[in-house]
């Protein structure tokens, strides 16, 4: 069952884009925006990540850290972060264990074909580790603007 508003966010450990262990629990006591993206360096994921990048200062001024999570390897995420000059960490959830817990992994449809994959989703987490906002199955274009309007 997917996590929802008011639920405690998972604190599991993943490798970041530098290959270092990182856990969502490391952000305890701070507000956090976690966005799940399907595949680094694709147009939609670049649009979304660059939207968070372009609003990074505004999120920071409101007390939010930002973390992106995908099933990509740390090496691919490192190239993505460098290519698009992303100021936040990207975590690799290769086995989609954290995405599963958030409900950001599941059945997708594309051109009538069904398959399992990462569902573009974003979550806001408060200082106590509780989910305060959940945006599920979103489109990349315009999504960050909506998060900004609803959160900041």
Q: Convert the pLDDT of each residue in 60-84 to its tens digit.
A: 999 999 999 999 999 999 999 999 9
> Across the chain, what does the average pLDDT equal?
96
| 7 part of a folded domain | no
50 is catalytic: no
Residue 97 has pLDDT above 80, yes or no: yes
Set 32, 40, 45, 69: catalytic member = 45
> What's the pLDDT at 111?
87
CATH number, residue 40: 3.40.30.10
Tokens of 87: 């100021």
**pTM for this entry:** 0.96
Q: Convert the pLDDT of each residue in 7-33 to its tens digit.
A: 999 999 999 999 999 999 999 999 999
| 21 part of a folded domain | yes
| 8 part of a folded domain | no
- Could you list the residue range(s) of the whole structural domain that residue 53 is in? 13-151
| 75 part of a folded domain | yes
Number of domains in the chain: 1
**CA distances (Å), 21 to each of 54, 57, 89, 128, in order?**
26, 25, 11, 22
> What's the pLDDT at 1?
66
């Amino acid at each position: 069952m997917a996590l929802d508003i008011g639920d405690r966010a998972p604190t599991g450990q993943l490798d970041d884009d530098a290959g270092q262990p990182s856990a969502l629990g490391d952000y305890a006591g701070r507000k956090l925006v976690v966005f799940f993206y399907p595949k680094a360096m694709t147009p939609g994921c670049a649009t979304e990540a660059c939207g968070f990048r372009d609003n990074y200062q505004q999120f920071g001024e409101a007390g939010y850290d930002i973390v992106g999570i995908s099933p990509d390897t740390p090496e691919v995420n490192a190239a993505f972060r460098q290519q698009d000059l992303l100021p936040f960490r990207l975590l690799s959830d290769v086995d989609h264990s954290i995405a599963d817990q958030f409900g950001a992994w599941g059945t997708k449809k594309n051109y009538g074909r069904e398959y399992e994959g990462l569902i573009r989703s974003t979550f806001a987490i408060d200082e106590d580790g509780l989910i305060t906002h959940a945006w599920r199955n979103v489109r990349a274009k315009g999504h960050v603007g909506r998060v900004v309007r609803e959160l900041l």
